[in-house]
Amino acid sequence: MPEPVVISATDLGKCYRIWTHSRPTTIKDRVEHLFMRGRGGGERPTREEIWALRGITFEVRRGEVLGVIGPNGAGKSTLLSILARITEPTTGEARIDGRVSSLLEVGTGFHPELSGRDNVFLNGAILGMSRREVNEKYDEIVDFSGVGDFMEMPIKRFSSGMYVRLAFAVAAHLDPEVLLLDEVLAVGDSAFQQKCLRRIDELTQSGRTVLFVSHTPASVAQLCSRVIVVNEGRIVFDGDVEDGLTVYLGSPQLDGGASALEQESQIREGTGEIRVAEVRIQGADGPRVVPDKPVTLEVDLVAKGGASARDLVVKLGIWNVASNQPVTLSTEYAPPEPAPDFGLAAKSTLVCEVDELPLRPARYVVSVSVERHGTVLDFCRHQTELTIHPADFYGTGVIPRDTHASPVLVRQRWHVVDDAFSAQTSAADVRLGAG
Amino acid sequence: MEDALSALDTTATHTPTASVVIRPTSGPVPPRLDELWSFRELFAILVWRDIKVRYAQTKLGFAWMLFQPLALLLVYTFAFSHLARVTIPGIPYPVFALSGLTLWIFVSRATLTGSESLVMNIAVVTKTPAPRILIPLAANVSVLVDYFVSFVLFVIIAALYGFYPTWEIVFTLPLLLATFALTTGLTLFLAATNVRYRDVGQALPFLVTLWFFLSPIAYQLQTPGHSWQTIVQAANPLVGLLLAFRWALLGTPAPHGMLVAALLVTTVVFAFGVVRFAHAERTLADDA
């Protein structure tokens, strides 16, 4: 028997009236607006209807972790706000069965003047916990946060890390049947993030239903069992996580038609002394990359004035959709010949050749970093994408596809060495059940 | 065991009380009293926070609650009694002034903090589904503490001047309730308006000061006044409330007509505030 439906949305829509000139936010604007309308002159602000969401229909069954992903401005947050009953829909209806907790922000209501202890009770109450519940879980919350020694101190004296840890610790001890979660995971250091992810995993293991809004493919891949992709206020995909992420990464954005990937590649860290302009990936016979053939990766570096190429370390990471990095390529492993040398505002291309990329056929994301003595000059998590196509990697006709059991493919030989068999069979190849 | 638990869970999720239906509404949404009741703990904690935060990082802490009415009393006694030579027949000026200030401290604080409350707690509005009406309500309730402190201070100072409370002092409670309804209605309207038009926050301190001078707090009404003065006084509910408050505390003449007018205006203001808030509540998160 399928699990019961706990969240159902039917034709949800949200319309905002936007002032195209400028929305009157003070009484003066309002009066001027009326005045100008009376005279019929000047730049008249007019109201325009903008549908942030339209025709949203979906169901979530108990125990599902539904990821809602989409570019900025697609309407994800509006959807979450409607389900969390923060704002009303303009059309349609939604129904949620069970105790709902919504977590759109960590530390809502935290007051800087109050102690850590007071804020735990305050924030707990705002999130819908009873005083008794917070009392019972107080020690756990403090333990989870790891800031136990400072609980009597006003949190304005907390570091931002401590603040976030305490805030998340309270949220992590919510005990709802349905959890509506905004992208609040990207907090704290990575160890703490993993702790938070584990906590959410625990919740879902025990049959809780989670709706998780995010624009980070990695966290969606790690957490969700199903995904809907929202773009321009509509659901453009509903189903399997990997396919959904593929749709998301290829979908055009609201502002200017660049794909999500192109936008992501604009997000860079580092000093910017040297930037990676482009990474091109070529297979042995053209753009098609297969696991059993050589691959060439070309990295275009552009140096700002005066930057030198001395002691540069360039790394390429190949990431799968589950946010693991099965392959790292680095100039540290195989220093380039000749050493790159460019002076003023020059462009230079590094070429990395690999004999093969024995990875499960799928879509990958390629990250790139340029470092010198541990200082990051340029880093992009989402420089480009790479698709590895199925091929007869093992040479046996068993073609590993995207359902391959493991993320990497390993060349292997099997022999039978047991005496009882060796008399009859000699080193027979055993076919692997791949693909 | 796990199975038994999850079976329980399943039935629990299908009890009608635990399910939420979200759909567009129109017109003012009346406050759902059962829902408000279920948020009583949050309400209590918001009141407690408002009180605690007000005196956080002050050396004197809660002693400020005593200090501020005393300081105001000194200033007004000096200004009105010594400079403006206001005299009140039969009542020492400090006792007279403090009886008015006790109520005024509540009215002015409740109006100012209540009107700013939603803007100050905008994250609660935009990030949580907690009923928004709790926020201005909690602000008003938190100011009651200051009232009670001033009230005790008044009783002590009046006793020092030889004025002892009579049984009529019990009437200060229903009068306080009416005053609370007045500031609540006013701040529900102003707080919701302030989210959209921040002009409210800018203009309010001046308007509150004006209200102080229009109300017989530090001075006594001239009787009988001109008819237009009577109309202005009747429209200002604080006039009737203050006169009745003084009657209960000091035995001054009872303000029958003025009190009736004040209660009428208060009822209208309260109803208006509740309806306006119910209307605005649906779009507060969008306006913020």
DSSP conformation class of A160: H
Residue with the larger pLDDT of the pair B271 and A240: B271
| A42 φψ region: left (φ > 0), alpha (ψ -120 to 50), beta (else) | left
| A425 φψ region: left (φ > 0), alpha (ψ -120 to 50), beta (else) | beta
> How far lies A325's CA from each of A143, A223, A297, in Å?
32, 17, 17
Q: Which residues contact A50 (CB under 8 A, 6 or more apart)?
A: A15, A16, A17, A18
Q: Which of B12, B56, B127 sits opposite A104 (nearest CB)?
A: B127
A–B CB contacts, 8 A cutoff, strictly below: 121
Asked whether the predicted pLDDT for residue A188 surpasses 70, the reply is no
Say whether residue B57 is in contact with chain A using an 8 A CB cutoff: yes
> Which pLDDT belongs to residue A341?
66
Whether B249 and B172 have beta carbons less than 8 Å apart is answered as: yes
Q: Which of B21, B56, B282 sits opposite A88 (nearest CB)?
A: B282
Q: What is the pLDDT of residues A127-179, one digit of tens each?
A: 888 889 999 999 999 998 888 889 999 999 988 888 888 988 898 888 888 99
CA dihedral A370, A376, A378, A380 (to 10 degrees): 90
Asked whether the predicted pLDDT for residue A183 surpasses 90, the reply is no
In chain B, what residues touch A97 (CB-CB under 8 Å)?
13-14, 18-19
Q: Which of A16, A97, A118 sits opposite B286 (nearest CB)?
A: A16
In chain B, what residues touch A87 (CB-CB under 8 Å)?
283, 285-286
> Which pLDDT belongs to residue B103?
95
Q: How far is A417 from chain B (nearest CA, A)?
A: 47
Phi, psi at A128, each rounded to 5°: 100, 15
Count other C-beta atoms under 10 Å from residue B43's C-beta. 20
Query: Most confidently modeled of A72-76, A96-100, B72-76, B261-265?
Result: B261-265
Q: What is the pLDDT of residues A79-107, one digit of tens each?
A: 999 999 899 899 999 999 988 888 888 88
Q: What is the pLDDT of residues A33-63, one digit of tens each?
A: 665 555 544 455 567 788 899 999 999 998 8
Closest B-chain CA to A91: B24
Q: Which of B6, B124, B286 sits opposite A126 (nearest CB)?
A: B124
- Give this prediction's pTM: 0.72
Closest B-chain CA to A107: B123
**In chain A, % of residues over pLDDT 70:** 81
Residue with the larger pLDDT of the pair B8 and A78: A78
Spatial CA neighbour of B53 closest among A115, A166, A121: A115
Q: What is the pLDDT of residues B234-253, one digit of tens each?
A: 899 999 999 999 999 998 88
> Which pLDDT belongs to residue A426?
47
Query: Most confidently modeled of A38-47, A97-106, A288-297, B260-269?
Result: B260-269
User: Poorest-confidence range of A373-377, B23-27, B158-162?
Assistant: B23-27
> Which pLDDT belongs to residue B15?
36
Average pLDDT estimate for A276-285: 88
Whether A107 and A124 have beta carbons less than 8 Å apart is answered as: no
What confidence category does residue A254 fall into, taking pLDDT thresholds of 50, 70 and 90? very low
Q: What is the pLDDT of residues B51-97, one digit of tens each?
A: 988 887 777 777 888 888 888 888 988 888 888 777 888 899 999 99
> Which pLDDT belongs to residue A420?
62
What's the token pair of residue A263? 């936008």
Spatial CA neighbour of A293 closest among A351, A354, A235: A354
Give the whole-angstrom CA distance, residue B64 versus residue B51.
12
Say whether residue B199 is in contact with chain A using an 8 A CB cutoff: yes
**In chain B, % of residues over pLDDT 90:** 52
Phi, psi at A309, each rounded to 5°: -95, 5
> Which pLDDT belongs to residue A205?
79
What's the token pair of residue A88? 């009303």
A410 burial type by CB count under 10 A (0-12 exposed, 13-18 middle, 19+ buried): exposed
